[in-house]
Amino acid sequence: MSRVRVLVGTRKGAFVLESDGKRQNWDVSGPHFGGWEIYHLKGSPADQNRLYASQSSGWFGQLIQRSDDGGKTWQPVGNKFAYDGVPGTHQWYDGTPHPWEFKRVWHLEPSLTDPDTVFAGVEDAALFKTTDGGQTWSELPGLRGHGSGPHWQPGAGGLCLHTILIDPSNATRMFVAISAAGAFRTVDGGTTWQPINRGLRSQGIPNEEAEVGHCVHRIAMHRSKPDVLFMQKHWDVMRSDNGGDSWTEVSGNLPTDFGFPIDVHAHEPETIYVVPIKSDSEHYPPDGKLRVYRSRTGGNEWEALTNGLPQRDCYVNVLRDAMSVDSLDSCGIYFGTSGGQVYGSADAGNTWSAIVRDLPPVVSVEAQTLKG
């Protein structure tokens, strides 16, 4: 029988939540790495017990942890993220050149087929890769070096590469997103890259339709339709039907189109989820009501999912990596909040309940569907 494991990264440690396929009763383990920020954990699609975690602190820098037994035990692996060659500069907030400086790993994306191969998205924005299970990491320098890198500027959260999508039908095609540079695509395994931001419009930058400079918060894809991408931008929910060549807005009837996460139903490629947030300065849900919005039409037409979620006096945020779906027959969906709750739904969002309520602020949530 299938089981579900939900990997939760928080400001003060990692937690592992496990349940059977009913997803009603959960075992909670943790905190792992108590006191450390865990920006992201993710399991290998090729080996469900191989997990990777990004562990960092303002005192002691970056660590990468690896588990080979589904999170019961962990071993530190390589933590040297050195930019390729002379790193050069990007733009600082005031527009002046600023040296590229490694700060932390925001996102770990294991290969779809090899447990030892993982991509890491880091701040200051760059993409790294390991092929030896995390022991050593090398930059894929073509991303920063494709031409616009010196013009990238950090968003309020830093100049971070936070999203990595691998095309399931062609592993040499990948998509990444950087705040506040935009989305980029490679078709040669990461050697060369091109910006894919046509159709994005961002008020507050000098050229609203610039090739780069957009604060993309998250991109999502369904594995059966890798040419269809969904994006939660700083403001605006967008979709592309041509692998990012162009984007159209699908915010439709959302109460606000600011937000961070976006995800796709495991079995319905046109069913997508967002969590509207009031504004870029008011990082909480409108009207004090925590609502996930679902579109079954790939955008534009949205319905509020509220059953089991607080509908008064709720002022939490949901960060970009803090939503995930499982792939059981009835798709489960999970998200974590800045208030330390992890909510789960075993029926594609129709009803919700809190799996845990009082964790440290949640940074990331990743669901694994376990066999056996």
Question: For tokens 């949205």, what's the residue?
Answer: 302
The CB-of-121 to other proteins minimum distance in angstroms stands at 18
Q: Where are the alpha helices (DSSP H) in the chain?
A: none
Q: Is residue 97 exposed (0-12), middle (13-18) or buried (19+ Cβ within 10 Å)?
A: exposed
Which residues, 126 to 165, sit near other proteins by CB under 8 A? none
The label of the residue with tokens 């100049």 reads 159
Q: What is the contact mask toward other proteins in residues 170 to 199, using x (rule: CB under 8 A)? A: ------------------------------
Please identify which residue in 25, 59, 312, 372 interacts with other proteins, judged by CB under 8 A: 59
Residue 57 contacts other proteins per CB under 8 A: yes
Count of H-run helices and E-run strands, the chain: 0, 30
Rg (CA), the chain: 19
Give the nearer residue to other proteins in terms of CB position, either 80 or 357.
Answer: 80
- Residues 190, 228: Cα–Cα separation, whole Å: 20
The answer to the question of residue 256 lying near other proteins (CB under 8 A) is no
Q: What angle do CA 65, 321, 192 make, to 5 degrees?
A: 80
Binding residue for other proteins (CB under 8 A) from 22, 24, 35, 245?
Answer: 35
| Number of CB atoms found within 10 A of residue 142's CB | 17
Q: Which stretch binds other proteins (CB under 8 A): 76-84, 166-174, 195-203, 280-288?
A: 76-84
Identify residue 53 by its one-letter amino acid code. Answer: A
CA distance 335 to 363: 10
- Cα 202 from chain centre: 21
Q: Cα(114)–Cα(352) distance, rounded to whole angstroms?
A: 34
DSSP string, 243-279: TTS--EE--TT-S--B-S-EEE-SS-TT-EEE--BS-
Question: Using CA atoms, how far apart are residues 354 and 345, in angstroms rounded to an integer?
Answer: 9
Report residue 294 as tokens: 């679902």
Other CB atoms within 10 A of residue 104 CB: 20
- Within residues 87-126, the interface with other proteins by CB under 8 A covers 102
Stretch that binds other proteins, among 78-86, 109-117, 195-203, 272-280 (CB under 8 A): 78-86
Is 82 an interacting residue with respect to other proteins (CB under 8 A)?
yes
Nearest to 63 by CA among 76, 81, 50: 76
52 binds other proteins (CB under 8 A): no
If you search the block for the tokens 């040669």, which residue do you land on?
Answer: 188
Candidate residues 2, 24, 61, 357; the one interacting with other proteins per rule CB under 8 A: 61
Furthest-apart CA atoms within the chain: distance in Å: 57
- Choice from 81, 119, 128, 235 touching other proteins (CB under 8 A): 81
Minimum distance of other proteins from residue 10's CB (angstroms): 16
| CB nearer to other proteins: pick between 78 and 189 | 78
Instruction: Identify which of residues 58 and 95 has a Cβ nearer to other proteins in the complex.
Output: 58
Tell me whether residue 36 or residue 260 sits nearer to other proteins (CB atom): 36
Shortest Cβ 67–other proteins spacing (Å): 15
**Under rule CB under 8 A, residue 79 binds other proteins:** yes
The residue from 22, 24, 27, 76 that contacts other proteins (CB under 8 A) is 76
Q: Quick one: which of 44, 62, 197, 369 contacts other proteins (CB under 8 A)? A: 62
Residues that bind other proteins (CB under 8 A): 35-36, 57-63, 76, 79-82, 102
